[in-house]
């Protein structure tokens, strides 16, 4: 192993001989995709967006999940609600915009059936002429919604466990970042021609960094840091900033104040956590980056990337985040490119699983969990 005098390198456990990548069907077979969608994306809490996107009563945004259009909004009391975007009269989609604000109620553009912000049907023209009709039998179909530190999660299952049960010890772990105080500063949406798991796998190893991300590697050595063992609902670890580097940005300097509440150690590190199934949480000394994954097919995933900043910074006249956004946008695009190359190659008849190095430990653990999911389901 080469010498890296400036950084502390922790050796990783040696991979067992069987530690190799997953067979191709996990990435290309629609049956595997459906099982993952059913078990993980329909059965778990999925990160949908930020509380500040529904700050005002009736403010809403939509997300597409499993082919469903979903409306996320809030009522006058500030409670977050989520609904299927389907009118109870003749099935019409209620809103076509990706974001907006309902004027106190949700009105179908077809025959004006009208719902309040909790989804109750409050108007249905001419239905009063139908004696057996009862309004209270036709509320909007609701989807469960809960909030953790400003992040809105939704769950398509009828009786989900509480969000906190899924998150486990994460809320405690990330308490110092006080994410509920942060605000959305920027969003970039990527359309990635790759399986959602390839994006998670790419996110959880930095072995590719010296070759693919020279700029990142200059700011944070790819062998630095440490991973946690895989948890049932998340995995991740941290990397160290190099001496003299203040944050991940185009030049490593930090034009923003560090987030209040972080320790001396925490401001020297970047934390990378995959929160299953769809959230990639990257905590920096002065900002938080969140990717949410929205799989469309075995080989295509929409990736919504958002940058959160402290409102004091956002309020500054000279606020600019292009140093952080440009840095990550470049790095993201490098990552999606190799994810797409992997998706293309894994589809080949020549592809066979290849061996993992010790630096791909989280991937191997993640793969075991995915294999378990498919074999456990007996479908």
- Pick between residue 118 and residue 181 the one whose CB is nearest to its own copies: 118
Nearer to its own copies, 125 or 260 (CB): 125
Nearer to its own copies, 115 or 148 (CB): 115
Least distance to its own copies, CB of residue 29, Å: 15
Contact between 106 and 115 under an 8 Å Cβ cutoff? The reply is yes
CB 257 within 8 A of CB 286: yes
Least distance in angstroms from the C-beta of 342 to its own copies: 5
**Alpha-helix residue ranges (DSSP H) falling in the chain:** 25-28, 30-36, 163-167, 170-173, 196-203, 209-212, 214-219, 311-315, 322-346, 361-377
Quick check: 360 and 20 in contact, CB under 8 A?
A: no
Task: Tell me if 220 sits within 8 A of 245, measured CB to CB.
Answer: yes
Q: At what angle do helices 322-346 and 196-203 cross, to 10 degrees?
A: 120
Instruction: Decide whether 94 or 106 has the Cβ nearer to its own copies.
Output: 94
Residue 12, Cβ neighbours under 10 Å: how many? 15
Nearer to its own copies, 68 or 149 (CB): 68
To the nearest whole angstrom, how small is the minimum distance from the Cβ of residue 100 to its own copies?
Answer: 15
Least Å from the CB of residue 251 to its own copies: 25
In the complex, minimum distance from the CB of residue 159 to its own copies, in angstroms, rounded to a whole number: 16
CA–CA gap between residue 82 and residue 141 (Å, rounded): 9
Q: Which is nearer to its own copies, 135 or 187 (CB)?
A: 135
> C-alpha distances in angstroms, 80 versus 33, 96, 145, 204, 352?
30, 20, 7, 31, 46
> Nearer to its own copies by C-beta: 18 or 77?
18
Closer residue to its own copies, CB minimum distance, 129 or 136: 129
Please check whether residue 327 is in contact with residue 272, taking contact to mean a CB–CB distance below 8 angstroms. no
C-alpha gyration radius of the chain:
22
- What is the enclosing helix (H) or strand (E) of 183? strand 183-192
CA 101 to CA 60: how far, in whole Å? 6
d(CA 258, CA 26): 41
Phi, psi of 324 (to 5 degrees): -80, -40
What is the binding site for its own copies (CB under 8 A)? 1, 11, 14-15, 17, 21, 24, 66-69, 84-94, 96, 109-112, 124-127, 129-133, 138, 141, 207-208, 210-212, 337-338, 341-342, 344-352, 354-355, 357-359
Give min distance, CB of 27 to its own copies, in A: 8
Min dist. Cβ of residue 110 to its own copies (A): 5
User: Whole-angstrom Cα distance, residue 90 to residue 214?
Assistant: 55
* CB nearer its own copies, residue 14 or residue 76: 14
The least distance separating its own copies from the CB of residue 83, rounded to whole angstroms, comes to 9
Instruction: Name the nearest CA neighbour of 287 among 151, 147, 177.
Output: 177
Least gap, CB of 74 to its own copies (angstroms): 20
Q: Would you say how long the chain is, in residues?
A: 379
């Amino acid at each position: 192993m080469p010498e890296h005098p400036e950084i502390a390198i922790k050796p990783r456990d040696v991979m067992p001989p069987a530690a190799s990548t997953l067979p191709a069907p996990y990435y290309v077979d629609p049956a595997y995709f459906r099982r993952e969608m059913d078990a993980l994306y329909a059965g778990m809490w999925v990160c949908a967006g930020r509380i500040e996107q529904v700050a005002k009563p009736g403010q809403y945004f939509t997300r597409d999940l499993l082919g469903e259009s979903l409306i996320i909004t809030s009522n006058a009391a500030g409670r977050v609600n989520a609904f299927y975007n389907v009118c109870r009269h003749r099935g019409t989609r209620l809103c076509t915009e990706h974001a907006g604000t309902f004027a106190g109620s949700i009105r179908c553009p077809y025959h004006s059936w009208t719902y309040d912000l909790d989804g109750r049907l409050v108007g249905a023209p001419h239905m009063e002429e139908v004696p057996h009709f009862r309004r209270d039998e036709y509320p909007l179909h609701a989807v469960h919604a809960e909030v953790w530190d400003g992040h809105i999660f939704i769950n398509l299952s009828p009786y989900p466990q509480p969000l906190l049960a899924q998150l486990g010890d994460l809320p405690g772990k990330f308490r110092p970042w006080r994410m509920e105080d942060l605000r959305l500063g920027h969003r970039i949406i990527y359309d990635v021609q790759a399986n959602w798991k390839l994006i998670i796998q790419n996110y959880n190893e930095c072995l590719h960094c010296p070759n693919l991300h020279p700029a990142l590697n200059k700011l944070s050595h790819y062998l630095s840091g440490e991973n946690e063992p895989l948890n049932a609902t998340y995995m991740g670890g941290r990397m160290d900033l190099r001496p003299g580097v203040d944050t991940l940005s185009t030049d490593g300097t930090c034009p923003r104040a560090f987030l209040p509440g972080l320790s001396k150690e925490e401001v020297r590190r970047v934390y990378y956590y995959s929160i299953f199934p769809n959230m990639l949480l990257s905590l920096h000394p002065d900002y938080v980056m969140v990717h949410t994954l929205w799989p469309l097919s075995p080989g295509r995933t929409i990736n919504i990337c958002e940058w959160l900043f402290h409102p004091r910074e956002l309020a500054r006249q000279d606020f600019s985040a292009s140093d952080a956004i440009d840095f990550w946008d470049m790095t993201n695009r490098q990552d999606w490119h190799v994810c797409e190359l992997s998706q293309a190659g894994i589809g080949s008849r020549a592809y066979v699983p290849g061996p993992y190095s010790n630096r791909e430990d989280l991937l191997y653990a993640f793969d075991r969990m995915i294999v378990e999911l498919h074999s456990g389901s007996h479908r």
